[in-house]
Structure 1
Amino acid sequence: GQDAFVLACLGCPVRLVERSPVIAALLRDGLRRAMQNPDISVVVAERMSLQVADGREYLLALDESQWSDVIYLDPMYPHRRKTALAGKEMRLLRTLAGDDPDAAELLAVALTRARRRVVVKRPRRAPALSGPMPDARIIAPNTRFDLYMTHPKIIGKPCPTSTAMD
């Protein structure tokens, strides 16, 4: 939900789609609490919505008029071989939601429904999801964003709508 909130603060309308009922309940509670904060309630009320659904099914059910310019996928990170433990929050989320073995299938569907691009958040050193290679990558110290362009003529133009999927 943090990435979705940042996108909303930047002016993008965001539809969060979460298939895990437990994680969706946590997101719903976070949105409810954010609505009580006068400094951010307008952003949350006007730009964020939550759907409890499988991302693939959700995207396939959309009418073309409902397609987003950008679809942001944030699948559960793959297990690491390092001995250091992930943060408490990530360990809890992994326990609640499990892995995302179908993340590549979600990417394939997202590529048919995004008007401009699909962005996939990955660990910096993780392999790309199976399927087409990303058109570009943005690399941060611990995270990488794989970008898949679905309409190359409009690369670089601002995007008015987005869908974030965990």
Structure 2
Amino acid sequence: MTSSTPRVCVAFDGEAFRGDAEALAAILGLPLATGPDDAPLHLTVSAAGLSLSLTGPDTPGPVRVDFISGRLGYRQARISPRGESLARAVGLRGNERPSVVDATAGLGRDAFVLASLGCRVTLVEREPVIAALLEDGLARAAGQPGLADAVARMHLVQGNARDYLSALDETARPDVVYMDPMYPHRDKSALVKKEMRVFRALAGDDADAPEILAAALRVARRRVVVKRPARAEPLGGRRPGHRIPGKTTRFDVYVKG
């Protein structure tokens, strides 16, 4: 990719979606796609909503935010605070539902689980293209009777989480700040699941995650929760108060005094 090659182009699946694609390209400041090889990533407008995909041979399928069907839809129908390690990590107990800032929203899966359990969740996503995917997924889910209440408890902010947290005044401080940062994968030959392959091509790793953690610890009223690989070192070398372990991931919990 040369310096003049755009990182992302906006594509459309049929002329019926050209107008929507042009409008989205203008909002994001991205060019329209003219062919399959004009950018490493295509953000595509179609009847199924927005999707993001790598171009070229041997690439994974498209990534989209889908709260309605698939794995997340199945999970949402069976969510119980007792059965969710995430719920225990953020401190759900009885009828208490803390306010949460998800500082690394990504595809919004954990935020949606917390909103389905009754929490009000602010999703902060720095990458405008990923934020566009989230906005599209939330809009589609809002039209589903079984999901509308959860979506109404979710508020999307596009911006840098460190700056967002640092700018909060006393009245806006959340009970909990949740983080699930991307981390450098050490095994170069391992097949990273498609979402991570696409996200890394778009935004790289979250190199400033320790700084976001520091801001979160200053702002959160009750606790900060960081999702980590099961065997990874704690983020930024900060030891948590306790951990909730799992087979492949764990939750590091920093309880405020």
Shorter-normalised TM range: 0.7 to 0.9
Higher relative contact order (CA 8 A, sep 6+): 1
Encode CA deviations 1:75-105: one digit per residue, 9 max, x unaligned. 1132232632111122112212211111001
Correspondence 1:64 to 2:170: yes
Q: Distance in 2 between matches of 1:13 and 1:111?
A: 19
Q: 2:215 aligns with which of 84, 109, 113?
A: 109
CA distance in 1, matches of 2:256, 2:184: 25
What amino acid is aligned across from residue 26 of structure 1 in structure 2?
L
Select 1:38's aligned residue among 145, 155, 158.
Answer: 145
How many Å separate the matches in 2 of 1:42 and 1:119? 24
Q: Name the amino acid aligned to 2:168.
A: L
Q: Residue 131 and residue 67 in structure 1: after superposition, are their counterparts in 2 closer, same or farther (change >3 A)?
A: farther
Matched residue pairs, number? 150
Deviation digits for residues 18-55 of structure 1, max 9, x if unmatched? 1111111111111111112111012102x100000100
Correspondences of 1:10-159 after superposition (within 5 Å):
10-45=117-152, 47-81=153-187, 83-151=189-257
- The structure number with the bigger radius of gyration is 2
Alpha-carbon deviation of 1:125? 1.5
Q: Which whole-Å CA distance do the structure 2 matches of 1:12 and 1:95 have between them? A: 32
Q: Retained in 2: the 8 A contact 1:118–1:147?
A: yes
The answer for unaligned runs of 5 or more in structure 2 is 1-107
SS at match of 1:145: strand
Question: Deviating runs (4+, > 3 A) in structure 1?
Answer: none
Aligned-pair identity in percent equals: 61
SS of the equivalent of 2:236 reads coil
**TM-score, length-scaled by structure 1:** 0.86
State the TM-score, normalizing by the size of structure 2: 0.56
For residues 42 and 142 of structure 1, what CA distance do their matches in structure 2 show?
31
Q: 1:23·1:97 contact (CA, 8 Å) conserved in 2? A: no
SS in 1 for 2:185: coil
Residue type at the aligned position of 2:242 = A
Unaligned regions of 5+ residues in structure 1, if any?
A: 152-166
Instruction: Say whether the 8 Å CA contact 1:121–1:144 is kept in structure 2.
Output: yes
